Amino acid sequence: MSWRVIARREFTDAVQSRVLWGLVAFVAVMIAMTASVPVLIPAMDASALLGLGAASEFAAMLVPIVALVAAYLAIAGERESGSLRLLLGLEPNRRTVVVGKFAGRSAVAVVGLGLGFLLASAVTWLVYGTLPLLAYLAVLVLTVGLGVVFVGIAVGISAATATRSRAMTLGIASYLGLALLWDLIPQGAHLAVVGGPPSGTVPAWFLLLEGLSPSGAYSALVTRALGATGAAIPSTAARLGGDVPLYLASWVFVAILLVWTLVPLLAGYWAFERADLN
């Protein structure tokens, strides 16, 4: 049995259940509502680009939890129920299982987030009367990519744990640490080094610390993408008050997203390969 067969089964099971369609509806409603927020604030010069920026900020918190919920039981759930031993009895090795689970759950996240964003784009077009296509596609690709990153984290956690409860605990901890609480690290470092909270321009290392988490790297790339299309969003150079160093280039944040995808997967596989399933 190849990893493609496992991935196809994972995706088919999701399509035939309510998981994918619940994901589509949830993402569509929340992104559409968030993208419409600038219209409700009279002081803001509301535009579709500002709406996309608002939607991306919310997506940085929403997408990780959706991806983690969709994938944290990929292996741990079957391992606890005993069905994983039956799967491994059909010839695939443990590496094939991890790759297949990651590919299948990633496909679910891509389709779910993609359809959700597509529906939200219709609402954005109705609200603003226009939809900047390049900016929309950039945010869509980055948001789907963020979902795949957290699927990798979730499958890695699932491969490394033996029970649903442990997988859930680690999934919640990773969400809190990487999506909600990470900003406390650069804020605290700025307070310790500079002597106060960030305001106006900030040091380059502060932006790097912000972007070392998956959600932070995603936000940095969205800022670059929307800034390139003329959105009224402060650019990296404006936040720094000068030139942008090489370690804040876009490819650095892309690399950070790749690392957060692959390292948890490899660590989870390493633990899974050595685990006693009996």
- Amino acid letter for position 194: V
pLDDT in tens, 11-23: 888 777 777 778 7
Indicate the pLDDT class of residue 43, thresholds 50, 70 and 90.
low
Taking the C-alpha atoms of residue 131 and residue 123, their distance in angstroms, rounded to an integer, is: 10
Q: Evaluate if residue 271 carries a pLDDT over 60.
A: yes
- Matching residue, tokens 């299982």: 97
Per-residue model confidence (pLDDT) at position 85: 73
Taking the C-alpha atoms of residue 212 and residue 189, their distance in angstroms, rounded to an integer, is: 14
20-29, 101-110, 191-200: least confidently modelled range: 20-29
32-36, 40-44, 139-143, 157-161: least confidently modelled range: 40-44
Q: Is 54 exposed, middle or buried (0-12, 13-18, 19+ CB in 10 A)?
A: buried
pLDDT in tens, 99-150: 999 999 999 888 888 888 888 888 888 888 888 888 889 999 999 999 999 9
% of the chain with per-residue pLDDT over 90: 36
Residues in contact with 8: Cβ distance below 8 Å, sequence separation at least 6, in sequence order? 104
- Bigger pLDDT: 226 or 255? 255
Per-residue model confidence (pLDDT) at position 26: 82
Q: Evaluate if residue 88 carries a pLDDT over 80.
A: no
Per-residue model confidence (pLDDT) at position 189: 92
Taking the C-alpha atoms of residue 188 and residue 225, their distance in angstroms, rounded to an integer, is: 28
Residue extents of the structural domains in the chain: 3-181+260-273
Taking the C-alpha atoms of residue 197 and residue 53, their distance in angstroms, rounded to an integer, is: 23
Per-residue model confidence (pLDDT) at position 48: 78
Q: Evaluate if residue 232 carries a pLDDT over 60.
A: no
> What string of DSSP letters covers 250-275?
HHHHHHHHHHHHHHHHHHHHHHHHT-
Per-residue model confidence (pLDDT) at position 168: 93
% of the chain with per-residue pLDDT over 70: 94
2-16, 94-108, 183-197: least confidently modelled range: 2-16
Indicate the pLDDT class of residue 252, thresholds 50, 70 and 90.
very high
